[in-house]
Structure 1
Amino acid sequence: MPQRSQFLIPWLLTALSVAAMCGLGFWQLERMVEKQQRLASIAQKQSNESLSLIDALSQKDPRDISINFVGTPDSTRPLLLDNQIHEQQVGFDVFAPVSTNAGWILVNYGWIAAPDLQRTIPEVNLPNGNKEFEGVITVPGSNPLITETNVNFSQFPALIQQVAFASLNQSLNIKLLPYVVELTSPDSAFVRDYKPVVMPPEKHLGYAVQWFGLAIAAAAIGGFAISKKGRIHE
C-alpha cells in the first residue's frame, strides 16, 4: 500500500468519528432548545384557567391545556398499557374510552402496580355513568421499536403495547379523537404523576458537552497516533 494511502484511511476514519460525535452533540443541543420551548409553552398554557374540552380542541395546538369536562366512560372496556414503570416498580397505565360532547376520547386514569412478574392482568374497576373529569390534553408518542398493534379484545381489561389510534378504532369499533386526556385530580385507586417533559433541558446540555468532549478526545488521540506512525515510517 502506498505511504499516502496508509495515512489517508486513518485520517478519514478519525474525521468521520469526530463528525459523527459533533453531529450527536448538535442534535442534543437542538433537543435542549425544543424542551425549553415546550416547557415555556406548558407554563403559558397552564397559567390560564381550565377550558372545556370543545374549547380546548378548537385551539391550534391543544396539547398541555388543562381541561374540565363531563363524559361517560366505557367502563366495560378498559385498556392496560404494558410495561409502565413507577418508582422502579412495573405496572400498567389504565385507559378507557369516554363519550363526550366532542366525541370519543381516550382517558388515562393513571398507573396501577402489576400483581406479579408473570404478566397477570389485574382487575380494574372503573366508575359508571356520567362523570366529571379534570386533566391535561396530550398526544401519545409512538415507539418505532414496537410493532405489535394487534390486541386480543375478546376479554377486558385488554393489554396494549402502545396507544395506536387506528388499531384501537378498528378493534373498539369507535372513532377516537387523536388525543389522550391525562387525569390530574387525586384518586386513591391510581397513581397520577403526569410529567409532560421527562428529560429536562439540562440533561440534553450535559449529553451535548459529553459528545463534544469525546469528539475533541478522538481528534487528539487520532491525530497523535497518526503523527506518531508517520514519524516511525520516516
Structure 2
Amino acid sequence: MRKSVLVPLIFGIAGVAVLVSLGKWQVERLAWKEGVLAEIEGRISAEPVPLPEGVEPEADRYLPVQAAGEIGARALRVLVSQKQVGAGYRVISAFETEGRRVLLDRGFVKVAGEIPETEGAVRVVGNLHWPDDRLSSTPENDVPGNMWFARDIAQMAEVLETEPLMIIAREASPPEQGVTPLPVDTSGIPNDHLSYAITWFSLAAIWAAMTGFFIWRMRQPREGQQR
C-alpha cells in the first residue's frame, strides 16, 4: 500500500510559500534601500553651501559645505587601510574658518608618509558627517600616543579644542601634497538585500525539489512488492 503523500505535500508547499515570501520581502527591501542610497548620493553631490551656524546630526548629515580658513598644525592620526594601497592614517586637524574652529578630515596618508603642515588660507569643499567607526572590537584610542582607531568626534573636539563638528574634505584648494582626500560616499552603507533574496529563493527551490523527491520515493514500491 502506498503511503499517503498529503502530509509531506502540505509541509512542502507551506515551506516553499514561507521561503518565497521572505525572498519577495527582501526584493522590496532592496528597492527601498536603493532609493535611500540614491537620495544620499544626490545629497552628497549637491551644490555646497556655507558652513551653517546651527547643525543637527540627523538633518545635516552629508550636507555639502564650503569654507575658507587655516588648517591647524596639530594632526590626529586614525589608523585605516585602503585597498591596493595598504595601511595608513586619516588625518584629522582643526580648521579655523570665519571665527569658528571645527574638525577637518583632510584625507589619507601612508604609514611611512609625512603629514604636511599647510600654511596660509585654504578653501575646502566637503560634507558634514558624524561617522560611526567604532565597533565592539575597536580598541580604545591611544590619545597620548596619537594613535586613533575611530573618529570619535566628541573626544577629538576636546583634544583639538574645536566644535564637535566634522567636515570630510572632498577637495582642497590649493591641494595638499601627500594627502589623498577620502570623500563621503555610500560604499560603507550595507546593501545585502539582493544576496538575501537570492538565498531565500534558492532555499525555496531546494525545498521544493526535496519535497518532490521525498514524495517520489514514498510512491515507489518497496523491494518485493508489486504495483
TM-score by length of 1: 0.69
Q: What does 1:78-157 correspond to in 2, within 5 Å?
A: 78-101=75-98, 103-115=100-112, 123-127=114-118, 131-143=121-133, 145-148=135-138, 150-155=140-145
Number of the residue aligned with 2:50: 52
Deviations 1:12-67 (A, max 9, x none): 66555444444443333222111212233344x22xxx543246959x63734240
Instruction: Quote the residue 1:229 is aligned against.
Output: 214
Deviations 1:73-105 (A, max 9, x none): 2x23x1112123054432211111223346331
Q: Distance in 1 between matches of 2:195 and 2:134?
A: 26
Whichever residue aligns with residue 188 of structure 1, its letter is Q
Contact map agreement 1:56 1:62 (CA 8 A) in 2: no
Question: Gapped runs of 5+ residues in structure 1?
Answer: 116-121
Letter paired with 2:37? K
CA contact (8 A) 1:184 1:192 kept: yes
CA separation of 1:214 and 1:160: change in aligned 2, threshold 3 A: same
1:160 corresponds to: 148
**One-letter code aligned to 1:63:** Y
Aligned mates of 1:110, 1:169 — CA distance in 2: 17
Aligned to 1:198: 187
Identity value in percent: 9
The structural deviation recorded for 1:9 is: 6.5
- Structure 2, unmatched stretches of 5+, are 220-227
Structure having the higher Rg:
2
Partner of 1:182: 169
After TM superposition, the score normalised by the length of structure 2 is 0.71
Name the structure where helix makes up a greater proportion of residues. Answer: 1
Do the aligned partners of 1:104 and 1:177 also contact (CA within 8 Å) in 2? no
**Over aligned residues, Cα RMSD in angstroms?**
3.7
